[in-house]
Amino acid sequence: MVDTEISFEEFIEKYVRKKNTGYHIWRFILSPLAHLVYRVKIYGRENIPEKGGVILAVNHIHMPDPVFVIIATKRIVRFLAKKELLESLLGPLYRTMATIPVNREGNSHNTVLASEYALKQGEVVAIFPEGTRNRNKPGDLLEFKYGTVSMASKTSVPVVPIVLESRGRPFIDDYKVFIGEPYHIENDADLDKENEILRGKMFKLMKSGS
């Protein structure tokens, strides 16, 4: 059972401070599998900083999306994911892959603080600004939640916009990953405006691949 209501210290010990010894093993396994099932094309790998805290803002189109972000960089990427995924049959995999659970029906305070803690420790945190998979608007973006820009504003780490493009049909479709240039959000930024800026950067990446 994934407990997201424990104390902050217990939460970061359980989900952030633990060693991710199996991460690179799983990455080594998942990379050739992804390339076998899809024609993977990654553009702009160099835009992900080699060190220091960074937020990857990623659109969400299909269930395996995190795999293609993970194989796009040698750095460990922490994804924020609904806690139900960590309670599923694939729960051990999600835990090994450094996932930080989100309680979408309760208090997400620990999730936010743990993510900010990881960023300040120089780690990479990936967030889906749409908050869920975009099932009905291919080639478009859902309305963004405020978590990405708020976290970037509080921690002063750069944001790297990433757009995934695929129809998701195994052995038929490409899976394209477009990685934009990193940029910063000021501490006192207008979050509504910053959400529009981020959406604009991601739309631009979409058009670059069309």
Higher pLDDT: 6 or 25? It is 25
In a domain, 114, yes or no: yes
In a domain, 2, yes or no: no
Higher pLDDT: 42 or 95? It is 42
Q: Quick one: pLDDT band at residue 59, thresholds 50, 70, 90? A: very high
pLDDT at 95: 82
In a domain, 3, yes or no: no
pLDDT exceeds 60 at position 210: no
In a domain, 196, yes or no: yes
Q: Decide if 71 contacts 40 (C-beta within 8 A).
A: yes
Per residue in 117-142, pLDDT (tens digit) is 999 999 999 999 998 889 877 778 99
Please tell me the total count of domains within the chain: 1
Please give the single-letter amino acid code of residue 135.
R
In a domain, 139, yes or no: yes
SS3 (DSSP) at 41: strand
Quote the pTM value.
0.93
Q: Which residues touch 75 (CB under 8 Å, ≥6 apart)?
A: 48, 50, 124
> What does the alpha-carbon distance between residue 91 and residue 96 come to, in Å, rounded to a whole number?
9
Residue identified by tokens 């993510």 is 115
In a domain, 1, yes or no: no
Average of pLDDT values for 149-177? Answer: 96
Q: Decide if 140 contacts 42 (C-beta within 8 A).
A: no
**Can you give the CATH number for the domain in which 38 is found?**
3.40.1130.10
Segments forming the whole domain that contains residue 111: 8-209
Q: Decide if 180 contacts 78 (C-beta within 8 A).
A: no
SS3 (DSSP) at 120: helix
Q: Which residues touch 105 (CB under 8 Å, ≥6 apart)?
A: none
In a domain, 78, yes or no: yes
Q: Decide if 119 contacts 125 (C-beta within 8 A).
A: yes
Q: Quick one: pLDDT band at residue 192, thresholds 50, 70, 90? A: very high
In a domain, 13, yes or no: yes
